[in-house]
Chain A
């Protein structure tokens, strides 16, 4: 028998008696790509994208729905956001908590006061939170300072932990408030809490049409 009859991983020698085997010849679950890593499959080794597939992003759909100027925020309240419906497509592991309790200005199933992050889905993951908050025009010189926090939204703010810096907005200018949440492995509430507030009602239709909240896993 000649060595020419030898095959390695089903590859025969070429005319130069050479058997060239690239890593992709050895993978049984897809080709290697830039920045990919080796991952064990049920039958061998594959090289999928190193980017995980997440189903936990949060995004708010555009909605224009006026609030009621009688619903006025107090310090420690949770910032309430109007639900439109489409945002649920991306929130498989985040539960929207309806506005109610002493730290929300109203009880209503069409408004959200906090987000319950699934402990298993977000275990050891870092989530970048961003919220575009509109200005408020109920009173001249109305303003507020808000901050992303984790903790029970129905308890005093001193029981919560800040997730980022404060953000200030007044009757003329909106703001963006940032937070960085790291999953601990247990279910945890995340919400935007009022640190200081003056003269701000829950929202107006124009303001709800520009508010936006996103949660993006970055690691």
Chain B
């Protein structure tokens, strides 16, 4: 066997029997990459991609733009609130760049978020109207399982030592999971009609995928 018959990735040995193989041969690349470009597979070729256009984060969700819509338009309707009620969040065009995540909504009112397996940093908050001094404690849930500590709003937060309005935590999901925000405890939260646009203007869900 002669070394002259040997090729590696189409490259013949030189006079010293050495073959230099490029990381990506030119017939696998479309176009000419510039310094600092990245390679992105387009289905047929590696395609040079400019640094500025590369999406490098692992994804995030941002819900809440301060928009106005009556809470009575949400699936909750006009009725009163009680413990374990789901809280709905309004956003006519929520941001979602997490691959595999879905936001379930109707007429802009978001009822749940389904996240693929992974680790996430989550912040959620809202604001309610009260018929008298009171409070509303809420948290993120997977079904009946609470995933985060609670956030609390209202003028009478003393049962929770004046806690913050942020429900926040890092959650680790082993498989696809649908999360909701539910009321854990409450006092004097006014009914759906009386909420008006207060929740829609103040509600927030911010999710950063960590891994």
Contacts and interface: CB of A to CB of B under 8 A. Distances in A.
A176 B166 contact: yes
Nearest to A125: B52
Contacts of A8: 8, 18-21
B57 A176 contact: no
Nearest to B48: A40
A165 B19 contact: no
Interface string A161-184: 010111110101101101010000
Given A40-B36, A50-B56, A164-B66, A178 B21 contact: no
Interface string B98-137: 0000000000000000000000000101010000000000
B125 to A, nearest CB: 7
Interface string A8-29: 1110000000000101001100
Interface string B16-43: 1111111110000000011111110000
Interface residues of A, number: 44
Given A21-B21, A173-B165, A218 B57 contact: yes
In this complex, which of B34, B155, B202 has the most chain A Cβ atoms within 10 angstroms of its Cβ? B202
Contacts of B59: 219
Contacts of B201: 165-166
B85 interface: no
10 contacts: A2-B3, A5-B17, A6-B13, A10-B18, A45-B24, A164-B64, A165-B66, A168-B202, A218-B57, A218-B60
Interface of B: 1-3, 6, 8, 13, 16-24, 33-39, 46, 48, 51-57, 59-60, 62, 64-66, 95, 97, 123, 125, 127, 155, 157, 162, 164-166, 201-204, 206, 208
Given A218-B57, A219-B59, 8 more contacts: A6-B6, A7-B16, A8-B19, A38-B38, A123-B52, A165-B203, A172-B155, A219-B97
